[in-house]
Amino acid sequence: MISVEEALAKVLELVGPLPAETVPLRAALGRVMAAPARAGLTQPPFSASAMDGYWLAAPDHRPGATLTVVGESAAGRSFGGTLAAGQCIRIFTGAPVPADGGTVVLQENVTRAGDAITLPDTLAETDNIRPRGQDFAEGAEFCPARPLTPADLGLLAGMNVAEVSVYRRPEIALIATGDELVMPGEAPGPDQILCSNNFVVGAIAEAAGARVRMLPIARDTEDSLRGVFALAEGADLVVTSGGASVGSHDLVGQVAAELGLERSFWKIAMRPGKPLMAGKMGAAAMLGLPGNPVSATVCAHLFLVPMLQKMQGLPATHAPRRAMLAEDVGPTGPRTHFMRARLRETEGLPEITAFANQDSAMLSVLAEADALLIRPLGDGPRKAGEIVEYLPLR
Ligand SMILES: Nc1nc2c(c(=O)[nH]1)N[C@H]1C(S)=C(S)[C@@H](COP(=O)(O)OP(=O)(O)OC[C@H]3O[C@@H](n4cnc5c(N)ncnc54)[C@H](O)[C@@H]3O)O[C@H]1N2
Ligand code: MOO
């Protein structure tokens, strides 16, 4: 059995960044830019007032001075004239200032009588002016190596970028396998359970930027599996769950091989998730997740998400964090154990507690867990207070 790190390296060899496409800014949330955007203008394009008040030239900015208001500059409508000594203009937030080197005095800090304003006896130190270009300059490039956030869309809009070049979303085909499975909303027979894997794995994939094609459940026959694999045609990545182990009904590897699977590996030193399988089927990558819901979920976090990241031009890594054990834990066996755990915030490192029941079929424990406590293979027992690593689940 290969290690988790080797398996990650091998699944990443199966995929590469997808081609770029151009999308309107409105459709770019969560997408990853494939080429830099350039600012079409300098922002702000002119030095602008940050407040509503009065603009006056530097020599007139004296405590108690009285000035005559001779015009107005509003956002979108600047004051065209020039000012003589002792004159000022009314100015509003976002409006261009008439010249360099002046000050905006807040309207609530002056006394106004007709066309005259009188400055206060104590003057504020700030000029309340946003200098031209303080945000970005025309031609500035923007291409963050992360999914675009709402704030990124605001920045791109401010740069006058209406369309962006982004990596195409990975298209994944999800295939659940097993005679025992029915879909939520259907009535399970006495020997049946609900298909939950497609929902958790599909949601993990969508949250990581993929488009998910959820295919009909494949039954435990070669014909059924072949039929459903045919429906995965055109997907970038085919993700099966179940039928990966050694039982006589575990046909996925066999049928996939008949259909041309070049297997990269099968079985890893990981708990849960031992029977994980991966390879290449024609142009598509194939990831065969174990059937147990927790195993499928943990494998999706550990392997599917980094594959999707690489396909979208992102760095693909696991980023373990540190926490302090809240309770003792026992030794691990010959597989790296990813224990479902709960975090508790403290003023320092968070505290982490592994759930008592680590059965890889427990959906309720999985839903409560917000972290995977990483226990290296062959690790000894650990005491409360020791520092350990975990992967966040939320
Ligand atoms: N003799 C051995 N038995 C098993 C081994 C082993 O090494 N030797 N490995 C165990 C491990 S570890 C795992 S994990 C499971 C995985 O087996 P499969 O991938 O073949 O999965 P199935 O047998 O098809 O299903 C396992 C379990 O999960 C349920 N299941 C399957 N698909 C779904 C789904 N879409 N939604 C919800 N639940 C699903 C299925 O009903 C079974 O209960 O094998 C161990 N056995
Ligand atoms: O992946 Mo299996 O859970 O190791 O039970």
Per-residue DSSP letters for 82-141? ---TTEEEEE-TTPBPSSTT-EEEEGGGSEEETTEEE--SS--S---EE-TTSSB-TT-E
Candidate from 228, 255, 292 with most ligand 1 atoms within 8 A of CB, to mutate:
292
Q: Are 391 and 338 in contact (CB under 8 A)?
A: yes
Nearest residue to 177 (alpha-carbon basis) of 261, 231, 239: 239
User: Quick one: 200 and 284 in the same domain?
Assistant: yes
Contacts made by residues 80-87, CB under 8 angstroms, sequence distance 24+ = 83/56, 83/57, 85/57, 85/59, 85/60, 86/60, 87/56, 87/60
User: Quick one: 35 and 61 in the same domain?
Assistant: no
- How far is Cα 56 from Cα 83, in angstroms, rounded to an integer? 9
With respect to residue 299, please indicate whether it lies within any of the assigned structural domains. Answer: yes
Q: What pLDDT is recorded for position 250?
A: 73
CATH number, position 145: 3.90.105.10
Q: Is 273 in the pocket of ligand 2 (CB under 6 A)?
A: yes
Q: Is 337 in the pocket of ligand 2 (CB under 6 A)?
A: no
The residue written with tokens 């079929």 in the block is 361
| Domain boundary, last residue among 311, 331, 349 | 311
- Phi and psi for 305 in degrees, rounded to 5? -60, -50
User: Quick one: 246 and 187 in the same domain?
Assistant: yes
Q: Is 245 in the pocket of ligand 2 (CB under 6 A)?
A: no
Q: Is 340 in the pocket of ligand 2 (CB under 6 A)?
A: no
Provide residues with CB under 6 Å of ligand 1: 176, 178, 180-181, 193, 195-198, 241-247, 250, 272, 274-275, 290-293, 295, 360-361
Sign of CA dihedral 200, 205, 209, 212: negative
> Any idea which ligand is nearest the CA of 244?
1
User: Quick one: 230 and 186 in the same domain?
Assistant: yes
- How far is Cα 278 from Cα 286, in angstroms, rounded to an integer? 5
Nearest residue to 264 (alpha-carbon basis) of 281, 247, 241: 281
Instruction: Supply the pTM of this predicted model.
Output: 0.93
Here the tokens at position 240 are 């099966």
Q: In 3-state terms, what secondary structure has residue 379?
A: coil
- How far is Cα 337 from Cα 62, in angstroms, rounded to an integer? 71
With respect to residue 144, please indicate whether it lies within any of the assigned structural domains. Answer: yes
Nearest residue to 333 (alpha-carbon basis) of 376, 274, 386, 388: 376
| Domain boundary, last residue among 281, 311, 341 | 311
- pLDDT (tens, 9 = 90+) of the chain, 394 residues, equals 999 999 999 999 999 999 999 999 999 999 999 999 999 999 999 999 999 999 999 999 999 999 999 999 999 999 999 999 999 999 999 999 999 999 999 999 999 999 999 999 999 999 999 999 999 999 999 999 999 999 999 999 999 999 999 999 999 999 999 999 999 999 999 999 999 999 999 999 999 999 999 999 999 999 999 999 999 999 999 999 998 887 767 789 999 999 999 999 999 999 999 999 999 999 999 999 999 999 999 999 999 999 999 999 999 988 999 999 999 999 999 999 999 999 999 999 999 999 999 999 999 999 999 999 999 999 999 999 999 999 999 9
Residue 99: CB atoms within 10 Å:
13
Q: What pLDDT is recorded for position 98?
A: 96
Nearest CA to ligand 2 atom 1: 273
Number of domains in the chain: 4
Taking the centre of ligand 1 as the mean of its atom positions, its distance from the CA of residue 242, in whole angstroms, is 6
With respect to residue 9, please indicate whether it lies within any of the assigned structural domains. Answer: yes
What amino acid occupies position 244? A
User: Quick one: 177 and 303 in the same domain?
Assistant: yes
> Structural domain of residue 124, as residue ranges?
48-130
Q: What pLDDT is recorded for position 317?
A: 86
CATH number, position 350: 2.40.340.10
With respect to residue 375, please indicate whether it lies within any of the assigned structural domains. Answer: yes
Q: Are 128 and 93 in contact (CB under 8 A)?
A: no
Digit-coded pLDDT (tens) for 224-254: 999 999 999 999 999 999 988 877 677 899 9
Residue 139: CB atoms within 10 Å:
11
Candidate from 274, 298, 340 with most ligand 2 atoms within 8 A of CB, to mutate:
274
User: Quick one: 34 and 63 in the same domain?
Assistant: no
Q: Which atom of ligand 1 is nearest to the CA of 271?
A: 12
User: Quick one: 265 and 282 in the same domain?
Assistant: yes
User: Quick one: 269 and 242 in the same domain?
Assistant: yes
Q: Which atom of ligand 2 is nearest to the CA of 271?
A: 4
User: Quick one: 284 and 361 in the same domain?
Assistant: no
With respect to residue 235, please indicate whether it lies within any of the assigned structural domains. Answer: yes
Q: Are 154 and 106 in contact (CB under 8 A)?
A: no
Q: What pLDDT is recorded for position 339?
A: 98
With respect to residue 209, please indicate whether it lies within any of the assigned structural domains. Answer: yes
- How far is Cα 346 from Cα 368, in angstroms, rounded to an integer? 19
| Domain boundary, last residue among 291, 311, 331 | 311
Q: Are 55 and 97 in contact (CB under 8 A)?
A: yes
Q: What pLDDT is recorded for position 248?
A: 67
Q: Is 61 in the pocket of ligand 2 (CB under 6 A)?
A: no
Candidate from 246, 295, 358, 365 with most ligand 2 atoms within 8 A of CB, to mutate:
295
**205-233 burial by CB neighbour count: b if 16+ within 10 A, else e?**
beebbbebbbbebbbbeeebbeebbeebe
With respect to residue 316, please indicate whether it lies within any of the assigned structural domains. Answer: no
Taking the centre of ligand 2 as the mean of its atom positions, its distance from the CA of residue 289, in whole angstroms, is 10
Q: Which atom of ligand 1 is nearest to the CA of 243?
A: 20
Nearest CA to ligand 1 atom 17: 245
Digit-coded pLDDT (tens) for 177-227: 999 999 999 999 999 999 999 999 999 999 999 999 999 999 999 999 999
The residue written with tokens 């020039």 in the block is 82
